[in-house]
Structures are given as structure tokens and as C-alpha cells.
Copies of this chain bind each other. A is one copy, B any other.
């Protein structure tokens, strides 16, 4: 059985939703970042990056959201969570998820994780101040160009959807007005109508 490590409020929500949508047999293990569970020796042995998500499989441990999402889609093909038979369409899905991890998530991280990239407290405050703009610009582009509708890739729900949903949930904290982003907001509401999403969001917020 798969063992999935997550912490509330993190991007692990995306893979958690995907596991649930895939009908995977998995056990979810919650870490508490407030008590720095992710830096404990037993967790570092699983994931030396001290991050979530981590997925422990019979073959070894996987990390990094885009990798987990593709692994879940390929491991449970009946759930049809990615266009696995279309190389170009799959590349579009991967491009979307890469943009989320390397640009959008990173822009957001400057709100509370500025210490990764500077030591000066004033610099860390300056990073916080720009988050509404930098995250806002990313989401303007997503809103205008990247959601084919009703789902990210078009008619079919995919691994791109829970990932976008996860970052959309952060917009309020980022001081970006979701309701002004028509496609993003409609996507968010559509996600919240899904039972698997409701269930996993409840686990993360409970």
C-alpha cells in the first residue's frame, strides 16, 4: 500500500486529491510543520529535502508534485487523469504543471519562505510586499491563456486540475482577488463540487 506524507496548507493537497480521485489504496500521514516534523530524522530518511509531499511505494520514495501527479495518473490509468496516449497533450499537461511548480508556487513562497533566498529581514519584507503582484501576474496569465475549460486541459479532468486548485486556494493569503479572475474562479467552484475534493480539503483543514 502507498504511504503518502502531507502537511496542511502545502502543495501536497494536489497529489492527495489525485490519489483519492484515482481510487488508490493509500495511507495518508499528516506532518505538522509548526513542530517541524519534516526535519525529524525519521522523515529526513524518507525525504532528505525536508519537504512534502512524499509518496512511499514498494519500489521506493517519490517526491515533487509534478512527478507524483504523473506517477498517479500512470499507475491508475482507468481513472483517466492524464492524456497518456497522446504525447503532445501529455506534454501540455506537464508544461502546465511545470509552470505551477517553478513559477507560480515559487512566487507564492516569497510570502512566508523568503528566508530561503535572503537573510536580511528588510529583504524578506520586501519579498512579501511583491507577492500580490508576482502571484497576480501569474494568475492573470493562467486566467487568460491556460484554462481551456471547463477543466485545465479541456473536457477532461486531469492531474492539472487539483494542482491549479491547490494554488488557487492560496490566493486569498497572497492578497490576490480570485473573484476577479473569471476562469480561475469558475474552475475553483467546479473543483469544490467534486466529492473527492471536498473530502480531502476537509482532511487538510480539520
A98-B64, A141-B48 known; A57 vs B88 contact (CB < 8 Å): yes
A116 to chain B, nearest CB (A): 6
Mark contacts of A99-130 with chain B using CB atoms, 8 A cut-off: 1 yes-contact digit, 0 otherwise: 10111011100100000111110110011011
Interface size of A by CB at 8 A reads 46
B134 lies within 8 A of A127 (CB) = no
A162 to chain B, nearest CB (A): 16
Is the CB of A158 closer than 8 A to any CB of chain B?
no
A120 proximity list for chain B (CB < 8 A):
122-123, 126
A99 lies within 8 A of B130 (CB) = no
Is the CB of A172 closer than 8 A to any CB of chain B?
no
Query: How far, in whole Å, are A176 and B49 apart by their CA atoms in the complex?
Result: 19
A117 lies within 8 A of B122 (CB) = no
A75 to chain B, nearest CB (A): 6
A127 lies within 8 A of B123 (CB) = yes
8 CB < 8 A contacts A-B: A49-B141, A60-B92, A64-B94, A66-B66, A66-B98, A70-B90, A71-B91, A119-B130
Task: Kindly list the 9 A-B residue pairs having the minimum CB-CB distance in the complex, ordered from nearest.
Answer: A123-B126, A64-B98, A67-B95, A67-B94, A123-B123, A71-B91, A118-B126, A120-B126, A101-B102
